[in-house]
């Protein structure tokens, strides 16, 4: 393999890359040494964090190295239409901040799944949701760790195993030791590293293409500013309505009920500051994604008449960003180090957030329910949570190494994410807004939605549903010498293992009914999964005695959203009580602040009548 790293990586580059990892580690060690040895400190930052770091952390949680490499490549190949996704998200985040987040913030949760147990009076649904979340985050973390490492290996000569170990060990150490405060602190630092990297690449790209005017003129002439396609087609890969419906739904639900975001807004001292953190992440995200947009169109303008994909310089359009960096930025001292640090920062931010959430869910939803772990001292409990994070870090690194031998892992990951996200969104929507849905309906609905979307995703993958083709490319400007160099360049570097193998069966077309249903746009996966979950959940609940005459089996008012309490008053207990009178949370008394907050929120009339079993309100 051609060792490009030996040619392009200098001392300055190694210093920048090492510094990025070292600073992240030092931040984790600082918070681990400074912080209290309690799980509240480790998992929710002591509930006293500041707005700006949390806002930056909320933002980078939605941005990974796959975004940094894939978003400009999407614009290069398919146009800027995907930027609508982030405009829709910018409008949806404030809705979530005011509609959903305050409801859960007042409960002072560490694991969002605790709400499901109290709402449906069933620990099984809590365990099922926790299991789905663990599957989702472990799978995502493994692929997020693996995919950028392949790009670095192919174009920089940076061995894949070295990238996986360096990023995985670094994230595991600082997350396990420093907890959420370390994650948020490093997220802020990594946000600036990613920002610097994208500014450098977009600036160089625009300069190389001939300036802003030339860049935007070429992008416009070649159809890259295709923002608005108002064709209503749920089977189209991208169009305005799929972005609006699919992304809008996802962006409203994720800040409110995603475990990663719950820990962030639960770390804020007041609900008002939690709202400010979520809304404050919007301009940060728009700025960063605008830089990604500029990067994509500038690289396209530079290669407008000599497309590396057509000439064989790259084998997949996702490789266009590292290809451009290697060929156009390598002569600038430190630029390769900045780019690699940008990629590493994207992986670190995503991986550390996932590890912290996995630790929180495993501890809160499983371990602390046992007498053995509940009897431990706070310091011992904190050490167990740290160990959990370390174990999941090792698992994610192992999955990343295994991914190189599993061609389907990349596509399968997004199938898992779409299905699991939609199923979780569906069960939370039922809990919040449909009080007559009971535990049986919620469990069956969640499993049904999960299975339906997994089938759709797998069939689409088998028949290799790829969506619309790329926009037209050109090679008219390639000189003979340039074309020769392109053909010889890096093709030996790119791994032969592909993430998306050829379709296994070719006798069926997904463009014909009834198979067309399997060509559903990936943007709609979460909302379709949620719809199946809700519909099945409602039907099953109606079959199993919805609005049970026994009021003790109805949900308590505190667990139903205020918007629907009057509409479904017949299905709600008249008095809510399990949050008052020293509520027990997983065997640990809730803090007086949380008790007072919830007591004021629901205005109870008498002492708790909640049934207590071994220290748990059921």
Where are the domains positioned within the chain? 7-406, 573-603
Helix (H/G/I), strand (E/B), else coil: 230: coil
Half-sphere exposure of 515 toward its Cβ, with a 13 Å CA cutoff?
15
CA distances from 174 to 180, 344, 391 (A): 10, 15, 13
Count of other CB atoms within 10 angstroms of residue 96: 22
Identify the residue whose tokens are 């999964």. Answer: 529
Of 269, 259, 275, nearest in space to 49 by CA: 269
Q: Which residues of 375-405 are buried (b: 16+ CB within 10 A; e: fewer)?
A: eeeeeebbbbbbebbbbbbeebbebbbebbe
Say which DSSP state 499 is in. Answer: S
User: What gap in Å lies between CA 604 and CA 139, rounded to an integer?
Assistant: 43
User: What gap in Å lies between CA 429 and CA 436, rounded to an integer?
Assistant: 12
Half-sphere exposure of 604 toward its Cβ, with a 13 Å CA cutoff?
18
User: What gap in Å lies between CA 355 and CA 169, rounded to an integer?
Assistant: 12
CA distances from 305 to 225, 350, 483 (A): 17, 36, 12
Helix (H) / strand (E) containing 200: helix 160-209
**Residue 121 burial class via C-beta count within 10 angstroms: exposed 0-12, middle 13-18, buried 19 and up:** buried
Determine the pLDDT at residue 236. 85
- CB–CB of 468/78 below 8 Å? yes
**Residue 605 burial class via C-beta count within 10 angstroms: exposed 0-12, middle 13-18, buried 19 and up:** exposed
Task: Tell me which CATH code domain 7-406 carries.
Answer: 1.20.1730.10
**Residue 561 burial class via C-beta count within 10 angstroms: exposed 0-12, middle 13-18, buried 19 and up:** middle
Ranges of the chain whose pLDDT falls below 50: 1-6, 408, 466, 480-481, 483-506, 577-618
- CB–CB of 321/73 below 8 Å? yes
**Residue 331 burial class via C-beta count within 10 angstroms: exposed 0-12, middle 13-18, buried 19 and up:** exposed
User: What gap in Å lies between CA 280 and CA 278, rounded to an integer?
Assistant: 5
Determine the pLDDT at residue 510. 60
β-strand pairing of 584-585 with 616-617? unpaired
**Mean pLDDT for all residues in the chain:** 82
Identify the residue whose tokens are 């309100």. Answer: 617
Determine the pLDDT at residue 483. 44
Tokens of 310: 């057509």
Determine the pLDDT at residue 153. 79
């Amino acid at each position: 393999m051609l060792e490009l790293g030996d040619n392009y990586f200098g001392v300055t580059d190694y210093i920048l890359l090492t510094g990025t990892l070292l600073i992240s580690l030092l931040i984790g060690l600082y918070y681990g040494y400074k912080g209290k040895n309690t799980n509240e400190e480790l998992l929710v930052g002591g509930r006293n964090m500041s707005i700006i770091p949390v806002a930056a952390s909320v933002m980078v949680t939605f941005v990974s190295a796959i975004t940094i490499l894939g978003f400009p490549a999407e614009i290069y190949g398919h146009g800027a239409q995907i930027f609508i996704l982030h405009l829709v998200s910018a409008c949806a985040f404030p809705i979530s901040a005011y509609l959903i987040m305050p409801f859960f913030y007042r409960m002072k949760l560490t694991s969002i799944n605790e709400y499901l147990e109290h709402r449906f009076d069933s620990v099984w649904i809590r365990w099922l949701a926790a299991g789905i979340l663990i599957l989702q985050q472990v799978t995502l973390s493994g692929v997020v760790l693996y995919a950028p490492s392949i790009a670095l290996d192919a174009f920089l000569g940076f061995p894949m195993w070295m990238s996986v170990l360096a990023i995985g060990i670094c994230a595991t150490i600082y997350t396990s030791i420093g907890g959420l405060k370390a994650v948020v602190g490093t997220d802020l630092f990594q946000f600036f590293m990613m920002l610097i990297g994208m500014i450098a690449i977009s600036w160089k790209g625009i300069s190389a293409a001939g300036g802003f005017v030339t860049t935007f003129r070429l992008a416009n002439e070649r159809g890259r500013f295709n923002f608005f396609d108002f064709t209503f087609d749920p089977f189209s890969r991208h169009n305005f309505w799929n972005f609006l419906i699919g992304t809008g739904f996802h962006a409203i639900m994720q800040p409110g009920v995603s475990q990663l975001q719950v820990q962030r807004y639960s770390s804020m001292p007041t609900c008002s500051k939690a709202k400010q953190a979520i809304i404050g992440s919007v301009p940060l995200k728009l700025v960063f994604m605008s830089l990604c947009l500029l990067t994509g169109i500038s690289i396209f303008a530079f290669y407008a008449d000599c497309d590396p994909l057509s000439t064989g310089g790259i084998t997949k359009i996702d490789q266009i960003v590292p290809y451009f960096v290697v060929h156009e930025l390598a002569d600038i001292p430190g630029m390769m180090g900045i780019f690699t640090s940008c990629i590493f920062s994207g992986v670190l931010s995503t991986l550390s957030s996932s590890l912290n959430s996995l630790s929180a869910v495993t501890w809160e939803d499983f371990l602390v329910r046992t007498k053995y772990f509940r009897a431990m001292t706070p310091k011992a409990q904190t050490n167990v949570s740290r160990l959990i994070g370390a174990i999941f870090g090792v698992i994610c690194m192992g999955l990343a190494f295994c991914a190189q031998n599993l061609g389907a892992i990349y596509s399968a990951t997004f199938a898992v994410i779409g299905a699991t996200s939609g199923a979780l969104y569906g069960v939370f929507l039922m809990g919040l807004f449909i009080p007559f849905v009971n535990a049986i309906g919620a469990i069956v609905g969640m499993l049904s939605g999960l299975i339906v979307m997994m089938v759709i995703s797998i069939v689409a993958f088998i028949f290799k549903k790829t969506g619309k083709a790329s926009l037209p490319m050109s090679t008219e400007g390639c000189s003979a010498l340039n074309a020769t160099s392109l053909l010889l360049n890096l093709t030996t570097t790119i791994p032969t293992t592909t993430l998306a193998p050829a379709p296994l069966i070719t006798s069926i077309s997904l463009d014909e009914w009834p198979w067309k249903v399997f060509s559903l746009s990936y943007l709609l996966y979460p909302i379709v999964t949620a719809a199946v979950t809700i519909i099945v959940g409602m039907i099953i609940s109606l079959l199993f005695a919805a609005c049970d005459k026994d009021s003790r089996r109805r949900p308590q008012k505190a667990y139903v959203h205020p918007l629907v309490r009057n509409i479904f008053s017949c299905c709600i207990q008249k008095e809510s009580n399990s949050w008052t009178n020293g509520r027990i949370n997983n065997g640990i008394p809730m803090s007086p602040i949380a008790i007072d907050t919830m007591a004021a929120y629901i205005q109870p009339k008498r002492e708790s009548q909640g049934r207590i079993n071994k220290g748990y309100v059921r």
